[in-house]
Amino acid sequence: MSTPVAITGIGQTRYAAKRDDLSMPGLVREAAKRALDDAGVDWSDIDAVVLGKAPDMFEGVVQPELFLAGALGAVGKPMMRVHTAGSVGGSTAVVASHLISSGVHKRILTVAWEKQSESNAMWALSQRFPFAPPTTAGAGGYFAPIIRAYMRRTDAPEHIGWQVAVKDRQNAALNPLAHLQIPDISLEKVQASPMLWDPIRYLETCPSSDGACAMVMSCEDDGHKDAAWVHGTAMRSEPMLFAGRDEVSPQAGKDCARDAYAEAGITPADIDCAELYVPFSWYEPMWLENVGLAESGWRAVDEGRTALGGDLPINMSGGVLSSNPIGASGMIRFAEAALQVRGRAGAHQVDGAKLALGHAYGGGSQFFSMWIVGSERPS
């Protein structure tokens, strides 16, 4: 029988295009300190630190876990780094939770971050490595044809992407930490924004952000009546390229979701709200189908079900479309899911949320991580 895992502290930085007021250690420190303060614990109460970070080329920092040990109070303690491309923030939280559930540690600080202003992800993702197929134009260039395939397969109308772009920015306006603040966002504005990678328009893409997210996890509630509890975790991966691969709805994503629901002992219908990793608007309907939350993702969007007032709110925080410090973006999904079931999401709170899903994906839709968190301690 595994030990229940409580999320007792959550800390996030303000997300912005440039946090040049802080060094990289200062950035992770800001989130970590807020998580400790939220949990009511100190550096000395932490047994181990689990750090997540997307590819080293993004900032040119190799072995960031060594670079950041001092800033995260990890000197003399176990410290490890997790790396699963864009899904890393989620995987990091999953790995951290396993160090508690397995009984190895009692209290963990987990942190994920990216400082995009000191790097250039577009450059890092556009290298033409010898003997390898190029992704040629960053993440958008890679995902655009997959989105087209989804639209063709499901007869989805073009405005679905615009609706997601509007909805997430309206949610971001309720989240003071969100990077993009576009209070006058509208379908017309999205539709009129420049086409970047057909069918993805400028306002249907995520920003480049600096930021960090941190959580304190514990084998007990640390005296917090409003701790969130981990009910299920799962990770899956598959190769980026193989014959017959369904890039629109990868098998690894389906398997990951199935495992997470099974561990939590629930069905997708039990989920009150979810934070899905949506860096391009169309990935909301696509992931809704992939993780089993909706039979037709685009119809769920079109009917307004995924809006904050709908019956299946998605990306209440504004999502990746509003803040994207890549390495942290997955952990922000997981942390925001936890905030919802703690009833601590402020203006973007879903009334009475009891079970929430956090989701992240990375690479060429080849790494997946998910967790299901609840307001009640799992039985």
Chain positions contacting another protein, by CB under 8 A: 19-26, 29, 43-44, 57, 59-60, 70-75, 115, 117-120, 123-124, 127, 129-131
Q: How far is the CB of 213 from another protein (least distance, A)?
A: 19
**Cβ proximity to another protein, 123 vs 152, nearer residue:** 123
Helix axes 159-172, 283-290, angle to 10 degrees: 90
**Cβ proximity to another protein, 130 vs 194, nearer residue:** 130
Instruction: List the one residue out of 230, 217, 335, 225 whose CA is nearest residue 4.
Output: 230
Q: How far is the CB of 365 from another protein (least distance, A)?
A: 25
Contact 162, 187 (CB under 8 A): yes
**Cβ proximity to another protein, 12 vs 119, nearer residue:** 119
**Cβ proximity to another protein, 16 vs 235, nearer residue:** 16
DSSP conformational letter for 242: -
Residue 56, amino acid: D
Q: How far is the CB of 11 from another protein (least distance, A)?
A: 15
- φ/ψ of residue 75, rounded to 5: -60, 125
Q: How far apart are CA 164 and CA 189, in angstroms?
A: 13
**Cβ proximity to another protein, 32 vs 248, nearer residue:** 32
The stretches of the chain forming alpha helices (DSSP H) are 24-39, 64-67, 88-101, 121-124, 138-154, 159-172, 187-192, 251-264, 283-290, 297-302, 326-342
Q: How far is the CB of 60 from another protein (least distance, A)?
A: 4
Q: How far is the CB of 363 from another protein (least distance, A)?
A: 19
3-state secondary structure of 324: coil
**Cβ proximity to another protein, 126 vs 191, nearer residue:** 126
Residues 6+ apart with CB under 8 A from 16: 179, 209, 210, 211
Q: How far is the CB of 210 from another protein (least distance, A)?
A: 9
